[in-house]
Amino acid sequence: MRVRPIGALGEPLELRRVPEPAPAAHELRVRVEAAGLRHSDVHYRSGIASAARRPITPGHEVAGVSDALGEGVIPRR
């Protein structure tokens, strides 16, 4: 999958390819088709707010579709 993670402060957000994670038991994976960037993402990038760990991929309030189910997940129809 493609991501633009926040690494070190002030570095450009470069497009990277990373392996798609497999969902664990009782999880599902969502293929994100759109994500909103908010002021908190800008603060993580600038260092005003502390990110728990880096690299961190900005964006939340996502829209997408589930594309993989972990063990024990029962899809609704």
Q: What is the DSSP string of 6-39?
A: B-STT-----EE-PPPPP-TT-EEEEEEEEE--H
pLDDT, residue 69, reads 96
Q: Say whether pLDDT at 57 is over 90.
A: no
Q: Say whether pLDDT at 65 is over 90.
A: yes
> For the residues 16-29, what does the mean pLDDT come to?
95
Banded pLDDT at 47 (limits 50, 70, 90): confident
Predicted model pTM: 0.70
